[in-house]
Amino acid sequence: MKTPDKNSFSLKTQSIFLALACLIVFNTIFFVVDDFVHSFDKASATVYFLFGLLSAIACLLIIEQNPKSIWYVPLIINSQFILAAFIEPFFWRLPPDASGIPTWTLVCSGWILTIIASIIGATLGRKTGVTGNHKVN
């Protein structure tokens, strides 16, 4: 009897679909919470922290199921801010009339958290067997 292939096409497709779903849901949450927080004149660092935390948890769970998806899941989930790093004129520096924290410091801290969670997820995923219940030596 042949065991199911752990690296099948359906597992890769499932990881991509979950990452895209997380991207859409997290961006929606990001913009709704950002609008809510700005209505009370609070710092936007809370919104970036929430996005980084959600993306780290999602990467951990998705990559734990398919450890080879470590190469693309963090990129898909964080693609909004990766694109902003190249397009947004004030991503790397503050506008001349602004004060506070530059956007890149908030976003890059979320990226670091996501990368750490992805590595932990891949490590945990490699230790579990095909069924997810037994450890493989």
Ordered DSSP codes for the chain: -PPPPTT-HHHHHHHHHHHHHHHHHHHHHHHHHHHHHHHTT--THHHHHHHHHHHHHHHHHHHHH-GGGGGTHHHHHTHHHHHHHHH-TTSSS--TT--S--HHHHHHHHHHHHHHHHHHHHHHHHHB-SSSSSB--
pLDDT band per the 50, 70, 90 thresholds, residue 1:
very low
Residue percentage of the chain with pLDDT more than 70:
76
> CB of 40 within 8 A of CB of 17?
no
Does the structure show a pLDDT above 70 at 3? Answer: no
Token output for 76: 């898909």
The 10s digit of each residue's pLDDT in 44-94 is 777 888 889 999 999 999 999 888 888 899 999 999 888 988 998 878 887
Can you give the residue ranges of every domain in the chain? 9-93+101-127
pLDDT band per the 50, 70, 90 thresholds, residue 134:
very low
Mean pLDDT of all residues in the chain? Answer: 80
pLDDT of residue 132: 52
The 10s digit of each residue's pLDDT in 108-118 is 898 999 999 99
pLDDT of residue 113: 94
Would the pTM count as exceeding 0.85? no
pLDDT of residue 63: 92
Other C-beta atoms closer than 10 Å to the C-beta of 26 total 19
Average pLDDT over residues 113-137: 75
For residues 134 and 121, what is the distance between their CA atoms, to the nearest angstrom?
Answer: 16
Average pLDDT over residues 122-131: 74
Of residues 40 and 97, the one with the higher pLDDT is 97
